[in-house]
């Protein structure tokens, strides 16, 4: 089962807004339709958004005809449309920059070759992401005891990558290697990615999973029921400050208080070496309705003020280690030798 893939000239993806009630696939042939799917979280998760962005560029190119004389103006508009969808996930901008560089390198070539080579580049991004997930899983396994309980936040499995996932990829690999792993999944308010998506993924794959309210984590840690916390990331600054789903910072503070390791699993495409620290990471704020209309019914007074950031930033001093496809990085952070960056 693939969360996103290229099939017969279209982007085929699982509509994650329909889970867990329905498993619905969308087939998208227009880059603006794909932009809407990203904005509305039909496809989500930093690596998957990056893949969607790369495929979106190809969809835009496929719409080109003889009436479009200036490919640079046209493709810049397509890329700007995709860039405007969500501001925080680094993988999106990384993939779009890579696609733009590929197209620029084909200046003077026929439109047929530009389309063919651009599709190849997007498929390379897809396959590289699949391989990175596998390597993250293999590297992260060494951090886990043969029998352990893991707390995670949001969704970081096959729904957000071309492969097995980032944080959950470590879980899947550990189970394949015979380790006895139990997962506690935060519900992840306000959109319940942990309840709707992580619990669904893990249950479907036969993993021992227990769903908890977001405000239960401290109690679990106090009772000694958590061996480590593993989360994904949407953007990582040069110093290791990490943006991830809002609520991640809470867990990092709690983990430090209870002397529990806190790990971040992410590929090189999530690192943004142009940013010095987390203060420079743009944080997306989403529709207040996501908060006051919880579970499809109004849950707050009319005209109430709502603050709804999609992400928060965890300072590097609270992160025990980063698990990447290259290796595990430990403090002090800043020397990321071995990580590619385009």
| Residues forming the active site | 234
Q: How far is CA 169 from the centre of its chain?
A: 12
Residue 121 near residue 5, CB atoms below 8 Å: no
Closest CA to 46 of 127, 131, 167, 142: 167
Residue 265 near residue 325, CB atoms below 8 Å: no
Q: How far apart are CA 171 and CA 209, in angstroms?
A: 11
- 334 CB neighbour count, 10 Å cutoff: 13
Residues 6+ apart with CB under 8 A from 85: 35, 38, 39, 49, 92
Closest CA to 13 of 2, 21, 131, 22: 2
Cite the DSSP H helix spans in 25-110. Answer: 31-39, 46-62, 71-83, 90-105
What sign for the dihedral angle of Cα 306, 86, 195, 247? negative
Q: How far apart are CA 256 and CA 318, in angstroms?
A: 7
Coil, helix or strand at residue 251: helix
Rounded to a whole number of angstroms, the CA Rg of the chain reads 20
The answer for 256, left when phi > 0, alpha when psi is -120 to 50, beta otherwise, is alpha
Closest CA to 95 of 107, 111, 83, 81: 83
Cβ neighbourhood burial of 342 (10 Å; 0-12, 13-18, 19+): exposed
């Amino acid at each position: 089962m693939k969360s996103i893939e290229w099939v017969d000239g279209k982007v085929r993806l699982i509509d994650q807004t329909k889970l867990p009630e329905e498993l619905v696939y969308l087939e998208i042939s227009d880059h603006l339709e794909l932009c809407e799917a990203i904005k509305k979280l039909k496809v989500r998760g930093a690596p998957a958004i990056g893949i969607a962005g790369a495929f979106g560029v190809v969809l835009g190119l496929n719409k080109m005809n003889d009436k479009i004389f200036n490919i640079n103006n046209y493709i810049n508009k397509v890329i700007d449309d995709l860039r405007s969808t969500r501001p925080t996930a680094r993988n999106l901008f990384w993939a779009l920059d890579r696609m733009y560089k590929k197209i620029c390198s084909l200046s003077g070539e026929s439109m047929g070759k530009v389309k063919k080579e651009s599709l190849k580049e997007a498929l390379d991004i897809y396959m590289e992401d699949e391989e990175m997930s596998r390597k993250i899983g293999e590297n992260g396994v060494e951090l886990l005891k043969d029998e352990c309980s893991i707390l995670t936040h949001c969704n970081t499995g096959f729904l957000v990558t071309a492969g097995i996932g980032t944080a959950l990829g470590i879980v899947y690999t550990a189970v394949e290697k015979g380790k006895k792993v139990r997962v506690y999944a935060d519900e992840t308010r306000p959109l319940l990615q942990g309840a709707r998506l992580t619990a669904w993924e893990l249950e479907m794959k036969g993993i021992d999973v227990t769903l908890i309210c977001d405000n239960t984590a401290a109690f679990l840690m106090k009772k000694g029921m958590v061996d480590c916390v593993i989360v994904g990331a949407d953007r990582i600054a040069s110093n290791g400050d990490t943006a991830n789903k809002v609520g991640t910072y809470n867990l990092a503070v709690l983990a430090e208080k209870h002397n529990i390791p806190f790990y971040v699993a992410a590929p090189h495409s999530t690192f943004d070496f142009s940013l010095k620290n987390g203060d420079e990471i743009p944080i997306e704020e989403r529709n207040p309705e996501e908060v006051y209309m919880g579970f499809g019914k109004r849950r707050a007074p009319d005209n109430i003020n709502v603050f709804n950031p999609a992400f928060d930033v965890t300072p590097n001093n609270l992160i025990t280690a980063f698990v990447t496809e290259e290796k595990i990085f430990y403090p002090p952070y800043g020397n990321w030798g071995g990580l590619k960056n385009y």
